[in-house]
Amino acid sequence: MYLITVLGNLLIILAISSDSHLHTPMYFFLSNLSLVDICFTSTTIPKMLWNIQTQSKVITYEGCITQIYFFILFAVLDNFILTVMAYDRFVAICHPLHYMVIMNPRRCGLLVLVSWIMIVSLFYGTSLGVYLSSTATHNATASVMYTVVTPMLNPFIYSLRNNDIKRALQRFLGR
């Protein structure tokens, strides 16, 4: 599942960056979502696979804090990117004649930058304290569903049902 997640999202990024027809705000945000999904799953899954292989569940305190930091960072960033994508679709549907003016490249870059600046700010402000003081146990099945299954399905949900992406992938893979 991890390989499908990484390869699927990487194909989306490569298809969007290699096809000039897909250099629009919607696909810019989609490629950022794919990048975040790769990073998100890569914060925990390699360590989990290593633990399964070695039959060891040991992690250092520093390793745990680092993993928590990046896990929360990419989880919240994923939510912000999805919010930006929803705003993009809102503008495209409700203001189609002004879409290119409203969603210009500068604004798109600013929206992504703000998304990145916001799970660093929120992380330092609240997440670390809440996580470290929490005594709740985590359900392993729910964790796997959230960290592996959702990012694996995003390329299928947001891209492979899209004819523009399908054509771009065919052109990219046909090279």
CATH number for the domain harbouring residue 145: 1.20.1070.10
Contact 59, 47 (CB under 8 A): yes
Task: Read off the DSSP letter of residue 138.
Answer: P
Encode pLDDT of 77-99 as tens digits. 888 898 999 999 999 999 999 98
What percent of the chain has pLDDT above 90? 26
pLDDT tops 80 at residue 112: yes
What is residue 17's predicted lDDT score, i.e. its pLDDT?
A: 92
Residue 60, CA distances (Å) to 48, 97, 139 in order? 14, 55, 21
pLDDT at residue 111, as a whole number: 86
Tokens encoding 19: 């096809």
Average pLDDT of the chain is: 81
The pLDDT of residue 113 is above 90: no
How far is the C-alpha of 163 from the C-alpha of 91, rounded, in Å? Answer: 21
Range 157-165, long-range pairs (CB < 8 A, 24+ positions): 158/12, 158/30, 158/33, 159/12, 159/15, 159/30, 159/34, 164/21, 164/22, 164/27, 165/12, 165/15, 165/16, 165/22, 165/27
- Quote the number of domains for the chain: 1
H or E element, residue 58: none
Residue pLDDT, tens place only, 138-158: 445 555 565 666 677 777 776
Q: Containing domain of residue 86, as a range? A: 2-173
Burial class (CB in 10 A: 0-12, 13-18, 19+), 67: middle
Give CA–CA dist 108/113, Å, rounded.
9
| pLDDT tens digit sequence for 12-48 | 899 899 988 889 998 999 999 999 999 999 998 998 8
Residue 136 clears pLDDT 50, i.e. is over it? no
Q: What is the pLDDT of residue 143?
A: 58
In this prediction, residue 137 has a pLDDT band, given cuts at 50, 70 and 90, of: very low
